[in-house]
Structure 1
Amino acid sequence: MKVRTRLTLLFTLVTAMLISFYAVAIYYSSKEAREISFYTELKSEAVAKANLFFEGALTEKEMHRLYKTNTQTLSEVQVAIYDSGFNLVYHDDSKVDYVKENSEMLSKIFKKKQLFFFLDDFQVTGIVYSHNGKQYAVTAAAYDQYGYNSINHLLTISIISFIIILVLIYLAGLFLSKKALSPAVRMVEQIKRINAGKLQLRLDESEEKGEFHELEKNFNQMLERLEHSFTTQKHFVSNISHELNTPLASMTAELELALQKNYTQNEYQTIILNALADVKNMSRLSGSLMDLAKASYDPTEISFSEVRIDEILMDSYAKIRKENPQYKIQLNVDLEIEESQLLHRGNPYLLMVAFNNLIDNTCKYASDNTCLVNASLISERLSIEFTNKGIPVSEKDLHHIFKPFYRAENSFDQKGYGIGLYLTQKIVDLHHAQIHVSSGENTTNFQIIFE
């Protein structure tokens, strides 16, 4: 069921319930008002007939004739009068007795002085009437034909009006829901045109501020992120394919060359060593891609704990020295830094990957393979700097140095894939830290500042 139909039906149902409650309240209040009004008329008629009987100039036969004449044209009230001994004194028509008074009923009237009750559809009023020091029980009964007709007419009009109002409300609900949901319909039509090849399309944002405007705005922002993600992924896959093809093509050429003719043992060893070097390059590339994938996870899926930054730096220092004995690394930790200031919530593996990349990158491009690692405090925040001396990075390269697969002008004579610094920045961002790079006067400096 469409939202428009569901909203219309819900709106109609709620309105129907409210109207029903109102109609029922009106009907029962009118019904009760009719009863009270007719009881009052019966009481007045009982008093009038008693006055006429005891004090009037009409005889009993004339009163009977008057009663029978009135019953031919309207629902005349039938009155009966009893004395305190429950003896009948007067009755409008004893042959057609509506009430059929008995001693129990008359006792209640004398006791309560006033009594109102129903006998089938007839309403009955019983009162005590005093005359010449004696008390009489007077009953008056009649069927309120006019009142019941009015109530039934009210009920009929209410039912017909209820049905007509429901139909009108349903039609009005369809119209209003169509108008209210027209921005959503327009959004759906525009979204249908957006696919993986047309992520540059955007929804038209309405000028009127409201929920749909916020939805359109946030949806466009999501499209921007998706477009950026798709573009990066496309670029990433393209570069990966290129980087993998290079060692694969080299290995293929070396192995095909080995099959063309017989070589000496030394020549075979050279071919195997070249192929092994290509395999190691692919292995390093695969490792870098795995690290990049881990750093690209949702932060909520990465395990974080309290770690000591200086201990991770020491582990990174030991690992780089072991893999690259020619590197000269000087690690300095300011003694004034308190232990609590070295603690940071993070992932030890990813932090070590970032430090490894920075140390390796700094040593690789230093003129003497030397990297100075300095940990200190800046405005009560932990700062780690990686500095080398060598060919400075140009201003143009500094703006792109953290982009994936980007190689600076001074890096083409070194092996690499342009992943390390991009991966390092993602890891730093995951740990809510900041990384800055500066270069000049044969010196390049990378700085990480932890919050």
Structure 2
Amino acid sequence: MTLKNRISLLVSISFAVLYGLASVFVYVLASNFRKEEFNDRLEIKALKTIKFLSDHKIPDYNLLRLMDKNSLNKLYNEKTLIFDSNFKLIYSSIDGAKINWYLTDLKYLKKNKSFFKKQGENEFYGIFFDTNDKDYYVLISAKDRYGNRKTVYLKYILLISYLVFTSICWFLTSWMVRKAIMPLGLFHQKIKNINENNLDTRIVSKSNKNEIDLIANEFNFMMDRIEESYQKQKEFTAHASHELRTPLSRITSQIENKINDPNINNESKSFLKTILSDVNQLTELIHSLLLLSKTDNRKTHEKELIRIDELLFNAIEKINKSYPDFIILFDMEDNEQLETALEIQGNKNILEIALTNVLKNACVYSTNKQAEVTISCDTANLYVSIANNGKTLDSEKQLNLFQPFMRGKNATGTIGFGLGLRIVQRILNIHNATIHYSIPKENTNLFQIKFPFQTKS
């Protein structure tokens, strides 16, 4: 779960719990208030009945029944029962109505003087009245129809508002959190795109009070140190390679002169040729390291409008000079977009080096001294495919194919240092292009270079 979703979820859960507790608290208070209010109304009714009994030594129950029927404050489904000291029903506000009552309630009433209880939808209030002459037990029952309707209405209001406001809280929290950590998302995108070719990338910070800006400042400081260290390393490699080329050139020249000396016997010439071969390999290694250090920086390469097919022809011509027995079959896809796709913005010199290295790789590791070069395109990319027959790489070697000094089992018996494909990848990165290795069929190696279409300026 992402940080913004986790924060949104925690805030929403906290709000939902607090709002739920508040809703329950309000509902309980309202329900208790309704109960107390209705209890007071029943008590008032019971006290009026007792006052009537106390004011009349011989109560006129017909008059009391008439008063109950015409009362302005009559309750819904109201019933009044009066019992004498022997628990005998002596008055009912509704003639002929069957009313359930319990002897235990009257006994409890005699002991505790009053009680309030709920039975079904009706609520009861009882009171014991003791006079000098007689004892009376008065039971008032009624249904709080309107109070219950208000309580139910309040319950639904609280439930609906709980669902609505928790949903609104989730959306608002998600939006606010997303807006608050948006700089962190931009920060992440910039970090993700940083590689060895753009170590000069920095994060723009607006203040030193925001935590994200503080992290950005520390990140920029860290990148300054990394870039400085990386530049020093590149400069050392470039300077060391450059300085080593001069003495190696002298050694090569002296060995060649010695080999051409007629006074040297064949055994010595053979020994010198072996040394010369080793010196040439060392020279090639130093040249590759120097080239690798130069391709690290995008800013050192000026770009112009070039054609990939022309660069390929130049690269093929160079390979033919170095390997005259090697055959390169060239093919171009019949596509209307291809003519436009062949033109890209790039550096002609280093791109030609990249294509030459891939062709050289196909030549060195080919078993039949033959390679196939195909140019094609789709709606978004230009493809240069170079295939040859030979030993293929296993999945583990493929993962490290473009790492420096990496050589597979198929390199046994061939001269090289494992820097060619690394140089190719660096050059293609400068041009926003990629190279991919695959095995389309048995004993077939395929390198596919993909150039995305560019807006030409």
> Which residue matches 1:92?
93
SS of residue in 1 equivalent to 2:115: strand
CA contact (8 A) 2:75 2:144 kept: no
> Which residue matches 2:36?
36
Residue 103 of structure 1 and its aligned partner are, at CA, apart by 2.0
Residues 125 and 74 from structure 1, CA distance in 2 versus in 1: closer, same or farther, beyond 3 angstroms? closer
CA contact (8 A) 1:84 1:135 kept: yes
1:40-439 aligned at under 5 Å gives the runs 40-56=40-56, 59-68=60-69, 74-93=75-94, 95-98=96-99, 100-188=100-188, 190-191=190-191, 194-207=194-207, 209-239=209-239, 241-242=241-242, 263=264
SS of residue in 1 equivalent to 2:104: helix
Distance of 1:247 and 1:55 partners within structure 2 = 136
Residues 85 and 262 from structure 1, CA distance in 2 versus in 1: closer, same or farther, beyond 3 angstroms? farther
Distance of 2:115 and 2:246 partners within structure 1 = 111
- After superposition, the CA RMSD in angstroms is 4.1
Distance of 1:119 and 1:190 partners within structure 2 = 71
> Which residue matches 2:284?
none
Distance of 2:37 and 2:74 partners within structure 1 = 21
Distance of 1:46 and 1:208 partners within structure 2 = 75
Q: Which runs of 5+ in 2 are unaligned?
A: 280-457
Residues 266 and 47 from structure 1, CA distance in 2 versus in 1: closer, same or farther, beyond 3 angstroms? same
Paired residues, what number? 281
CA contact (8 A) 1:70 1:76 kept: no
The Cα offsets for residues 152-177 of structure 1, whole Å up to 9 and x where unpaired, read as: 22223223333443344344324432
The Cα offsets for residues 359-407 of structure 1, whole Å up to 9 and x where unpaired, read as: xxxxxxxxxxxxxxxxxxxxxxxxxxxxxxxxxxxxxxxxxxxxxxxxx
Distance of 1:161 and 1:190 partners within structure 2 = 43
* AA of the residue aligned to 1:209: K
Residue 225 of structure 1 and its aligned partner are, at CA, apart by 2.1
Distance of 2:2 and 2:225 partners within structure 1 = 30
Residues 52 and 254 from structure 1, CA distance in 2 versus in 1: closer, same or farther, beyond 3 angstroms? farther
Residue 192 of structure 1 and its aligned partner are, at CA, apart by 5.7
Residue 193 of structure 1 and its aligned partner are, at CA, apart by 5.7
Distance of 2:252 and 2:108 partners within structure 1 = 120
* AA of the residue aligned to 2:184: A
Higher deviation after alignment, 253-262 or 111-120: 253-262
* AA of the residue aligned to 1:60: Y
> Which residue matches 1:23?
23
CA contact (8 A) 1:81 1:91 kept: yes
Distance of 1:169 and 1:146 partners within structure 2 = 34
Amino-acid identity (%): 25
Q: TM-score, normalised by structure 2?
A: 0.51
Q: TM-score, normalised by structure 1?
A: 0.52
The Cα offsets for residues 308-349 of structure 1, whole Å up to 9 and x where unpaired, read as: xxxxxxxxxxxxxxxxxxxxxxxxxxxxxxxxxxxxxxxxxx
The Cα offsets for residues 257-286 of structure 1, whole Å up to 9 and x where unpaired, read as: 786678479979x979x99xx9xxxxxxxx
Residues 54 and 240 from structure 1, CA distance in 2 versus in 1: closer, same or farther, beyond 3 angstroms? same
SS of residue in 1 equivalent to 2:126: strand
Q: Which runs of 5+ in 1 are unaligned?
A: 279-451
CA contact (8 A) 1:42 1:77 kept: no
CA contact (8 A) 1:19 1:162 kept: yes
CA contact (8 A) 1:8 1:173 kept: yes
* AA of the residue aligned to 2:141: A
CA contact (8 A) 2:75 2:143 kept: no
> Which residue matches 1:385?
none
CA contact (8 A) 1:45 1:77 kept: no
